[in-house]
A and B are shown apart, each in its own frame.
Chain A
Amino acid sequence: EIVLTQSPGTLSLSPRERATLSCRASQSVSSSYLGWYQQKPGQAPRLLIYGASNRATGIPDRFSGSGSGTDFTLTISRLEPEDFAVYYCQQYGTSPYTFGQGTKLEIK
């Protein structure tokens, strides 16, 4: 099983700041089958990034993904108030399709 470790666990930032979230895999993720999700309380996850670096439909360009192999990053260039949420990475290249434990992005 591929274990995904996200860091930090909690990130405290202010609106308009830049956020950098990390996701490290215990082994190489097949063909960059790595996605990022945003989840707000009481809501289903929302796909932000697929294939490590491709923005999903309707996702603002302040969200970007990068990385390959075992190290991946989600960057939010300039935080908006609605961006404060929990973020998960997921690998969907090798079964079981595992998630990281999440990074909570909170307002400082």
Chain B
Amino acid sequence: QVQLVESGGGLVKPGGSLRLSCAASGFTFSDHNMSWFRQAPGKGLEWVSYINIRGTYTDYADSVKGRFTISRDNAKNSLYLQMNSLRAEDTAVYYCARREGDYWGQGTLVTVSS
């Protein structure tokens, strides 16, 4: 069955960095565009970033542009989100998902606090 499992979340100080990973299984990862989303505590959903099948095209929400980098390794069936210059407002549960929105991971919590 299709599975997306995020990891790498945790507590980080403002200005710090974190790298999230998303391990995909149960489907041909290299056939699907992928996205990251996030949800701040008690808030709604926010799209963060998108990457195409080959990793040749990426897109970002303005709120993270220049600070976050999405990437993928099709050989490892993995999606990544490198997050730099983290701010308190980046605190959220981060989800990876297939571009179609039909499968999501369970999420990983990122807390930015001193």
A interface residue numbers (CB < 8 A to B): 35, 37, 39, 44-47, 50, 56-57, 88, 90, 92, 95-102
The 18 listed contacts between A and B (C-beta, < 8 Å) are A39-B45, A44-B95, A44-B105, A44-B106, A45-B104, A47-B101, A50-B100, A50-B101, A50-B102, A57-B102, A88-B44, A90-B45, A90-B47, A99-B44, A99-B45, A99-B46, A99-B47, A102-B45
Residue from A50, A95, A101 within 8 A of B59 (CB atoms):
A95
CB–CB A47/B102 < 8 A: yes
- Pair count A-B, CB < 8 A: 46
- Encode contact with A along B98-110: 1 for CB under 8 Å, 0 otherwise: 0111101111000
**Besides the known contacts A88-B45, A97-B35, A98-B47, 12 further A-B residue pairs in the complex with CB atoms under 8 A apart:** A44-B95, A44-B104, A44-B107, A47-B100, A47-B101, A50-B100, A50-B101, A88-B44, A92-B101, A97-B47, A97-B50, A99-B44
